[in-house]
Chain A
Amino acid sequence: MMLAQVIPSPSIDIEVLLPMLFMGVGGLLILTMTSVKKDLPGWFVTSWSVAACAGAIISAIVLWNQFGDDGPSSTIAGAVGFDGFSIFLTVVIASAVAMASLLAHPYLEREELEGVELHVLLLLAGTGGLIMAFGNDLIVFFLGLETLSMAVYILSAMHRRRIQSQEAGMKYFVLGAFSSTFLLYGIALIYGATGTTNMIGIRAVLDNQVIVEDGLLLGGIALLIVGLTFKVGAVPFHSWTPDVYEGAPTPVVAFMASGVKAAGFAALLRILSTTFQPIVDDWVPAIEVIAALTLLIGALSAIVQTNVKRMLAYSSISHAGFILLGVLAASERGTAAALFYLFTYAFLVSGTMATLTVVAGQGDSDFSFESIQGLGRRKPILGFAMMIFLFAQAGIPFTSGFVAKFGVIAAAVDSQNYWVAGVAMISAVIGAFLYLRILVSMFLQDPVEDAPALVIPRTIGTVLVSAVVVTILFGIFPGLLDGFAQDALVALTAGTP
């Protein structure tokens, strides 16, 4: 009888929560500070939040070693899982937040928006993301998701003077809320089917008695998939992505494309690929279709865009498709590949958005092809960086992007999903065409006359440099990162308290 063992008094293993505390508390502290002392200088806020992220990352590294010694565990009554996977993602999300706020600093100054909230919200969103990554319980995960989402809703509506920004916020909010109800409904049904919302428990149930054709369970999974794929912007739940990406402030977009995606995929990997691994035959075909659609629709609608930012939004959709390959592989290799992808992509996209932040100019509105025309001539450094990012996104060898794509496709092929892999390669080719379009206007066309002189603020420079370094370094020596990615999942699949 279940009532016999009602909720045991949870033992809280505090240092596991350190990353979340760093970011969450960091965010709240700066908020209180502003309420005490008005107009904190931008640089202070920025460096504060960067410090918070750094704290999170450092604690993650510490945890990594500890996890190396003791192996995985979970705390708070199995609600929070402690394993390589979550630690790895901590690094990804934290650095995403850090880069976002580095971008945000000059952005805010340029757009004359007073700044604290943006940084705070970024930190809180990050916290939410971490909770999603750590959450070993569907409800906890849901809370994380909402924390993240609500912060991002506001973030995307942040630019007060741009109606697009508010429209983006509005759309994102409505659709986000809408989809999260599906998600929640899914959780409820699964709860009904398995009698628990704890993933470990669910996995145990699935492992022990084979539930065949349980309507509740499968229905639950279906709705769960809706909610999760919505967050990562997969077709047909992608429709918000281009609009929001185009409307939202560029630094925020950087975070959405890196941090939010990472969190979303963290959930997908943890819940689908791992928890529901036993009934893989039921859900993989569905994800296959979704992945294929995502890959193709993303690439196809990207090539006909006339607005660079929107184009990249679509391309980020097709990237989501690639990462889905890692998910549907539902194997250690798949998860590792997806993690590798998320890590490198976080830097890639932040770098790309950094470039756009620079070229977009006052008002954060000019994303036409003219704005980047002849960039190679106007600002060679920036051009070079952008070229690297585009190569990486196009999957040109010796950039991290290639290895990432290669990894996920390998995973898919390894689990015999040949046709999706084929589709992925085709969409990669289509995608290549769109990156070439950008390259052409950057290097093979002359700058439009009266093109404004470009200055790269220091913080953005930092982002660019780190992004380039990561992209090239892990492109040429992928083994360095791959090792971690491989370890980051062994624990996950074990996943027992």
Chain B
Amino acid sequence: MINLANNLLFAAEGGTEVSFPVLTSLIVIPFLGAIGVALVPKGRVEVHRLVALMASVVTGAMSVWVLLNFDRNDGGFQFRNPDPNVWIESLGIRWDLAVDGISLFLVVLTGFLFPLAIVGVKPEHSPKNYYAWIILLEAGVMGVFMTLDLFFFFVFFEVVLVPMYFLIGSWGHGNRIYAATKFFIFTMFGSALMLVGILAIVFLHEDATGIVTFDVVALAEGQNWGDTVGRWVFLSFVLAFSVKVPVFPVHTWLPDAHTEAPTAGSVILAGVMLKLGTYGFFRYGLYLFPEAATWFAPVLMILGTIGILYGAAAATMQKDLKRLVAYSSVAHLGFIVLGTFAITTESLTGSVSQMVNHGLSTGALFFLVGWMYERTKTRQISELGGIQKSAPLFAGFFTLVMLSSVGLPGLNGFVGEFLILLGAFVANPWIASVAATGVIFAAVYLLWAYQRVFHGKPRGEHTDMEELRPSELMVLMPMVVLIVFLGVYPKPMLERIEPSIEVLVAHIDENVDDWTEPTADVLIAEDSHDDEEGEEGGEGEE
């Protein structure tokens, strides 16, 4: 058993000439960190913080190392161990980690956000458990993004619920227990049927090939299940991811969870945990079920669009600032869903980058809102006002982040949204045109909120709100730098994402007979019968 453990922890992942199991350590280090925190006696608050912070920082550094050593021309999986360690012999479950262009930046984002979340806010009570949970959460999230084994995907997908449940449940505000339970049960319910789905395809694969394996690559290449089964199982996956993302109409856990969660909780929830769902759509939707995905694509595009408009509309009228931001997440993730199921290289690339961008901008927004709450002890928009007078710097940062979330060109938020809509337009001009109105609404609810909170005469007893503290500035700065950088020069990110997207699209193309990627076709035509085709710009999947 010991040597098994050793194998698990320290075997080489191979891939690029690494002998050290980087990816495994991305999961193990936070895990050990959590144990470390648990072992430190209760009194030593600073030590808990330090241990958690160090673990997360090391993890972050290693994720950056992965980013730097990532081969940008290779669209396949990298850092993968050629023969992964077997976990459960009888079911062919293996500890099999890898990253590709799709997961890479999510891993980095995770490694980036957690240290900030730990530095950014101190818990109100019992810091020991707090830090233990939060750092444990990081391990889980990392696992989801990196594993290629359906079993472990499900495992991590489920296990992340627990730390988040406790973070919300015991460090949250208001009726936190309701929110936490709702979050837990709702999400678990969503993924319940997915497990059956996973097993179904695994065993159908076994029946066809005689090999029982949870290796997503093998399964995806094999496609050893009929279209009908594929579609049903796909639906079970979609349910799971839709709840996580969340997609309308299964989004209602999100406002409660985000609002009641402690600041760090909201940051991580919005920053990385929602991405578990969207990432799932990529790896376990499009890649695993190309046929079903293309078959359901229009429905999901429409759901995404509804999400965009619905989220915006709901956000506009919120009275609670944090809740407003939460609903804005619904809208933003609507974009990602739309882009995912438009299934064009542009929109897919856009979706992936949008995952990262949303993580940054909404994360930053939640930080700011959280700090504002710390200072004023209220989140009610009506009780705030004129803050820009007393805290111009605070307001300035808020403005920048807000504009990034509104999708102002030159800031990161724009690039993703634009590519998504562009690709979606190629796939289906009408849906895309409707979805594009989302950018208007985004401006409406955010600017209106900003006006009421920061502009006008200082209102209420919060006329002299404290300015940003240096520590908070330290947390915000890296995010802001990235927000600007990724807006001005997104190429480094896009060019690492794209190869994998091309591989994915090719995979879909060869596995779905009557489907070809919708492409921008040049309209060289004077007479009007080509016009329709011109307008519809190639709705391949319809």
Contacts and interface: CB of A to CB of B under 8 A. Distances in A.
A428 B192 contact: yes
Interface stretch (A76-84, A159-167, A187-195, A432-440): A432-440
B68 interface: no
29 contacts: A396-B162, A402-B158, A406-B151, A406-B195, A407-B91, A410-B203, A413-B199, A414-B206, A421-B199, A425-B195, A425-B196, A428-B192, A429-B188, A432-B184, A433-B185, A436-B181, A440-B177, A440-B181, A477-B4, A477-B5, A478-B87, A478-B88, A479-B4, A479-B86, A479-B88, A479-B89, A480-B1, A482-B89, A486-B89
Interface in B132-189: 151, 154-156, 158-159, 162, 165-166, 169-170, 177, 181, 184-185, 188-189
B45 to A, nearest CB: 17
B274 to A, nearest CB: 20
B436 to A, nearest CB: 38
Interface residues of A, number: 35
A397 B156 contact: yes
Interface string A365-401: 0000000000000000000000000010000111000
Contacts of A479: 4, 86-89
A402 B199 contact: no
Interface of A: 333, 336, 391, 396-398, 402-403, 406-407, 409-410, 413-414, 418, 421-422, 425-426, 428-429, 432-433, 436, 440, 443-444, 473, 477-480, 482-483, 486
Nearest to B181: A436
A486 B89 CA distance: 9
Interface of B: 1, 4-5, 86-91, 151, 154-156, 158-159, 162, 165-166, 169-170, 177, 181, 184-185, 188-189, 192-193, 195-196, 199-200, 202-203, 206
Contact of A444 (B5, B155, B169, B184): B169
Contact of A433 (B89, B181, B192, B195): B181
Given A397-B155, A403-B88, 9 more contacts: A336-B90, A396-B159, A397-B158, A413-B196, A429-B185, A436-B184, A443-B166, A444-B170, A486-B90
A295 to B, nearest CB: 12
Nearest to B192: A425
Given A397-B156, A477-B4, A479-B4, A410 B91 contact: yes
Contacts of B169: 440, 443-444
A296 to B, nearest CB: 13
Nearest to B185: A433
Contacts of B196: 409, 413, 418, 421-422, 425
B162 A391 contact: yes
A435 B179 CA distance: 16
A444 B126 CA distance: 12
Contacts of B188: 428-429, 432
Contacts of A425: 192-193, 195-196
A477 B195 contact: no
Contacts of B1: 473, 477, 480
A478 B162 CA distance: 20
B185 A436 contact: yes
A422 B193 contact: yes
A421 B206 CA distance: 18
Nearest to B232: A418
Contacts of B88: 403, 478-479, 482
A336 B90 CA distance: 10
Nearest to A398: B159
Nearest to B172: A444
B200 A413 contact: yes
A254 to B, nearest CB: 26
A438 B41 CA distance: 26
Contacts of A473: 1
Given A398-B155, A444-B169, A477-B5, A482 B199 contact: no
A333 B90 contact: yes
B203 A414 contact: yes
A444, A480, A483, most chain B CB atoms within 10 A: A444
A452 to B, nearest CB: 22
Contacts of B87: 478-479
A104 to B, nearest CB: 31
Contacts of A409: 195-196, 199
A271 to B, nearest CB: 24
Contacts of A410: 91, 199, 202-203
